[in-house]
Amino acid sequence: MITLRPATVEDDDAIRWLVHTGQINPTGLDWRRFVVAVNEAGLVVGCGQVKPHGDGTRELASLAVHPDWRLQGVARAIIEHFIAAQSGELYLMCREEICPIYEKFGFRALEEGEMPKYFQRLIRLARLLTTLFRQSSGVMVMRRG
């Protein structure tokens, strides 16, 4: 059983550990934007944030779950929380192979021309890095709303 709550400064180390363990982009981590999932013992087992960007877009980001708590509905609870709390469009970036997970929540993969400029720049950089490091999977930008 988990409970969601707004993060506190005391959660910052746990958030950073989860993001690092999940191999997620660690830039823009501000605990004040995060929601954390805590177990019955009060330990942080998942986190996520909505990052505002200068162009007015909002990004569901830094969604991470402790390895021992994966596949137990933690990510789902965090995603549903943010969807309920946000109005309008919500973007995210993810590895191509996990797009179907987000499609269940109403997100749709975008072509580069459909993306706001911020995400166009990021996707170009991500594609370059994917090529340089010979990674098998690319990165996608998705939108809901």
- pLDDT tens digits, one per residue of 66-116: 999 999 999 999 999 999 998 899 999 998 899 999 999 999 999 989 999
Average pLDDT score over the chain:
92
14 and 76 inside one domain: yes
**Identity at 46, one-letter amino acid code:** G
Number of domains in the chain: 2
CATH number reported for the structural domain that contains residue 70 in this entry: 3.40.630.30
Look at residue 13 in the predicted model and tell me its pLDDT: 97
Query: What is the DSSP-derived secondary structure letter of residue 120?
Result: H
Q: Which domain holds residue 67?
A: 1-87
For the segment 37-50, what is each residue's pLDDT rounded down to a tens digit? 999 999 999 999 99
Asked whether 63 and 51 are in contact (CB, 8 A), the reply is no
- pTM: predicted TM-score of the whole model, two decimal places: 0.90
Q: Report in angstroms the alpha-carbon separations of 92 from 1, 2, 29, 67, 141.
A: 27, 24, 15, 21, 6
